[in-house]
Amino acid sequence: MDFSTKSLDAKNAVTAVKTGALVVGIHENRKLTKAAAALDKLGAISAALKSGDISGKPGSTLLLRGVTGIAAERIVLLGLGAEDDISDKNFAAAAQALVRALATLGCDDAALALPFSGIKGRDLAWAIRNVVLAGRDFTYRSDALKSKKDPAPTGVKKVTFLTSADNAAAAKTALAEAVALANGMALTKELGNLPGNVCTPTYLANTAKKLAKDYKLGVEVLDRKQLEALKMGSFLSVTNGSEQPPKFIVLKHMGGKAKDAPIVLVGKGITFDTGGISLKPGLNMDEMKYDMCGAASVLGTFRAIAELGLKLNVIGVIPTCENMPSGRATKPGDIVTSMSGQTIEVLNTDAEGRLILCDALTYVERFKPAAVIDIATLTGACIVALGHHNSGLFTREDEAHDRLADELLAAGRATGDTAWRMPVQDVYQEQLKSNFADIANIGGQPAGSVTAACFLERFTRKYTWAHLDIAGTAWKSGAAKGASGRPVPLLTTYLLNQARAAKPARA
């Protein structure tokens, strides 16, 4: 679906909008929105309401054709729920129903005359983003490698948001941000859904290079010899068993002032995770192609902010490789030396994400970052703790880290891409003690997601840092199997908020 905005004034009434389908909202108990009331002055809706053909409950729809005195060919009535309480849940349900209804129509275009500013606790931008993401999600197809493609989306292809003249500028900005976000999520989904024999570390590196070319970003890809020169022994220990060469990707979007410290996003890029010598059970192992969703979310976020030309300095760092068993693979009990100089006893080769991330987190010190956020499908323990609704958010407990956590949590709430804060405390470090090295790479079953974060924390003490464990939110299993595109909404919104905060106020 393509989207645009159009403002309405007294001379451009909703009744005069020429479109294949005009969508207006109604409430429960037969109460009309402003746009619906304007149409009903001509008697277009009363009969449908009296007949009980539509209830006004969230997501209910009714199609009216050939309404006299109205320029639109069709009127779609959309239930929004109670008039005085259009909750975000109800509006989201209505948006989902809306895109399904538009897909059944025999016209190419539609205009939406809905109360975008009337959702409880939400703003115009939230409502527009909700509709755009619902539309793009509905039309998304994961058939890139099928010899016979899935049926193409039918129905409406162009959607226009009708807003008041006062909201015209805000609506245009909101739509641009929503479309960029949708494009970023689409890239993240596409990368996540590709199989491991296609989406290799080299494939991710080439994707980063294409992004850089398309949007004039800075890019650097380090290979094995350069990683060896940097003494990234922890990262390289994970790739020992694979035939695929490791890559270390650095993307730079320098949209802010030259002197401004960058925000750094670090994405885990294990393009397939067998567990290595600590081999995973075979059941559902195919889903370990999603172990690079942290990397995919960094690339998707860069796609979004680059499209928007965000006035902020952002650097993306992606360590990427496979974790495979072979005669060269790292063994349980092996000790490796990280870039930081700390030695690590590898008690379990399936706890490999933290081994590649720790060297990346040391590498980013050179950027003197304002903040660093790593994103990783790191632990099954996070799914045990939080299920598939919230990503796990881990930071230290002090003023700077509390502020970073609050900003990330707020961005998640604003987009529905929510996270929940978990502890990072020294008491958990006891579980990572080793008799033979500075640190062990696992701390046992208790608080597994916390000890994983505490492992990473040891490599981040020179800057403000947060860790997002997206093991439960990056993809869906079962009949709806596929990458979710999360946490691109959270990350993009956080960066947008940082750019707005950095923009000087007008005199």
From residue 354, alpha-carbon distances to 19, 200, 221, 357, 459 in Å are: 54, 19, 20, 5, 10
Tokens of 268: 């885990």
Please give the torsion angle defined by the CA atoms of residues 501, 503, 506 and 507, in that order, rounded to the nearest 10 degrees. Answer: 90
* Bond before 115 cis per omega within 30 degrees: no
CA distance linking residue 414 with residue 42, whole number of Å? 38
Nearest alpha carbon to residue 75 among 66, 87, 84, 88: 66
Beta bridge partners of 220: 250
Which three-class secondary structure state does DSSP give residue 386? helix
- Tell me the HSE value of 155 on the side-chain side, using a 13 A CA sphere: 17
CA distance linking residue 318 with residue 374, whole number of Å? 10
Nearest alpha carbon to residue 38 among 193, 164, 168, 197: 164
Nearest alpha carbon to residue 256 among 315, 313, 314: 313
Catalytic hit among 209, 280, 413, 476: 280
Helix/strand number for the chain, H first, E second: 14, 20
Pairing of strands 335-337, 439-440: unpaired
Q: Kindly state the DSSP code that residue 504 receives in the 8-state scheme.
A: P
From residue 130, alpha-carbon distances to 312, 403, 475 in Å are: 25, 27, 19
Nearest alpha carbon to residue 131 among 163, 171, 91, 84: 91
Active site residue 280: yes
Q: Kindly state the DSSP code that residue 32 receives in the 8-state scheme.
A: B
Tokens of 327: 């005669």
Catalytic hit among 354, 396, 458, 486: 354
CA distance linking residue 317 with residue 268, whole number of Å? 9
Phi-psi domain of 206 (left: phi exceeds 0; alpha: psi -120 through 50; beta: other): alpha
At residue 333, φ and ψ (nearest 5 deg) are 100, -15
Active site residue 354: yes
Which three-class secondary structure state does DSSP give residue 21? strand
Which residues are known to be catalytic? 280, 354
